[in-house]
Amino acid sequence: MRDEYDFSKGERGKFYNPNAKHNIPVYLDSEVLDYFVEKAKVKGVELDAMVNDLLKKDIALIEGVK
């Protein structure tokens, strides 16, 4: 690394995108993760697809109770 960097020609906000979507990490307990990894493997689907499907079903149940 250099001792100093010259930012005098830098442009504030050049790469800022107010509409950018950020994927935040979701951390599962190890036993929960192990369970779903095994179930996804048995079903032959990707883990993220299976978890998203389960969460969508939960959302539908929650919204149906309101």
Element (H, E) at 39: helix 30-43
pTM of this structure: 0.65
pLDDT at 40: 97
What gap in Å lies between CA 35 and CA 13, rounded to an integer? 43
What gap in Å lies between CA 42 and CA 40, rounded to an integer? 5
Q: Which residues contact 47 (CB under 8 A, 6 or more apart)?
A: 36, 37, 40
Q: For residue 20, give the DSSP letter.
A: -
pLDDT at 66: 77
16-61 confidence digits (pLDDT tens): 999 999 999 999 999 999 999 999 999 999 999 999 999 999 999 9
The token duo for 20 is 């950018």
